[in-house]
Amino acid sequence: MKKIILITGGQRSGKSVTAEKMALEMSSHPVYLATAHIWDEEFRQRVLKHQERRGAQWTNIEEEKWLSKHDVTGRVVVIDCITLWCTNFFFDRTANEWEQPSVEEALKALQTEFDKFTQQDATFIFVTNEIGSGGVSENAVQRRFTDLEGWMNQYVASKADEVILMVSGIPVKIKG
């Protein structure tokens, strides 16, 4: 039976660990779908630490944009994370050039891909960040990205069966 769970919160609030524990409670062989693009060595090390934390029982998939090309039917899948997934649509790397679509174009593409991906009969545990909680940025690009992610988070939350807010490592159920 299809189920969508959204886990949100601030940086280092325990979102990923909670999502992983939840997935392991539901399945002995969950899927971890990483949306990260490796930007630099420091980020590569973060990714390696996440991979080391998970055991051999996980099926690991790396996909920056097109989640729906992966068949996860009947599986429990952690998608980590919406923030990095939004980044991949916000800064589009095509032909070795950077293009930045409008917020509306990026949001439409993300929503379309989300809907296509979550049509599968699976349990989806999406991880995201509440990046707009810290105030309004002085940087116009950051404000546009915060808008994009905020609207995408709202979209996913509206489709979710359950939403959990992480506060200092404590899960607080806010929907479901």
| Cα dihedral 155→156→157→158 (10° resolution) | 50
- For the CA atoms of the chain, what is the radius of gyration? 16
State how far the Cα of 129 lies from the Cα of 69, in Å rounded to an integer: 24
Q: Which two tokens stand for residue 65?
A: 């944009």
Which of 29, 37, 50, 70 is the catalytic position?
50
Is 29 labeled as catalytic in the residue annotation? no
Active site residues: 50
